[in-house]
Structures are given as structure tokens and as C-alpha cells.
Amino acid sequence: MTLEQRIVALTNSIGAVIKQVRIDIGNKAALNTNDKTNLVAAINEVLAAIGSGGGAVIDDNAAANSTTVAYSPNKITGLIATAKSEILGGAASAFDTLVELQSVLQNDANVVANLLTAVGNRVQYDAAQSLTEPQKLTACTNIGVGNYDRDFVADFNTALA
């Protein structure tokens, strides 16, 4: 799928979602609140009328998308540790902090030179670059470029209709 096709699909999806949101929200004039300027104001009016309902309930077994309970500090600490483990992906202790990575890069000039060589063989977007026709074709193929002049606003408006 080209970039163009992906953007068209995205605009169609966004248009469909916005259309459904408009339907779901409904007519604000039908609200039984004094403030009908926006939904947040109307909800705040209702909340002020009934009160906040008290403090949060702690439930470490609640679903991650729950909006009625909160996790305990121990559960939050565990989730952070899990996220850290997933980010590090089993990196050796010599490479699990930014300072350690900095040290490796500063102490081994070949690592930096090899990286610079590899970067030099890439398509640039911040400076002019001379590429052969086959290189241009490969670059465009790799990034899935379609029609750069497509009218995506028209696609979006069609999706809203």
C-alpha cells in the first residue's frame, strides 16, 4: 500500500469517526442543563449538583481501562518496572543506561565512524543530495510514495458526506 493510499484510508477513517461522534453527541440544545454551550460545561454543571462522590477506590485487579478505580502505589511501581524491562529488552547491564551507552560511544571511535558511514549512505531530508535514477527509484519504492499532489481535503470531505 502506498503512502497516498494509506493517507486516503486514514482520511476516510477519520471522517467516519467524526461522523459517528457527531451522532453520539447529539443535539446540545436537548440537554436538561442550564449551560448548553458545550458538553464539558453541562457535565460540570451536573457534577456540581450531585457532588464528586468521594475519593478513588483502590483495586489492583481492575482492568487497565477502568475509570472508576485506581491502582495502589505498589501496583504502579510494578507496572513501571515492567515497562522499564520491556524498554531495555534484556540489554546487558553494561548498556542499560544512557550514561553507559555514552561511555561506549566515546571510547570506541570505530563505532561512531561505522555509524557515520552507514548514515552517509541514506537519503537525506535536511540537505540537497545527488542520487542516481536507480537510487531515487529505490528510495521512493522503500517509502511507498504515491501521488504527492492528491487533494486529501476532498477525500476527507467525501468521507464526511
| Cα gap 75→41, rounded to integer Å | 34
Residue 54: predicted pLDDT: 52
Q: Any idea where the domains of the chain sit in the sequence?
A: 56-90
* pTM value surpassing 0.75: no
pLDDT tens string 38-82: 888 888 887 777 665 555 678 888 888 877 778 888 999 999 999
Higher pLDDT, residue 50 or 107? 107
pLDDT tens string 120-140: 878 888 888 888 888 887 887
Residue 63: predicted pLDDT: 85
* pLDDT above 60: residue 147: yes
Residue 17: predicted pLDDT: 92
* pLDDT above 70: residue 35: yes
| Cα gap 161→13, rounded to integer Å | 13
Residue 95: predicted pLDDT: 79
Cβ-contact 57, 70 below 8 angstroms: yes
Residue 146: predicted pLDDT: 67
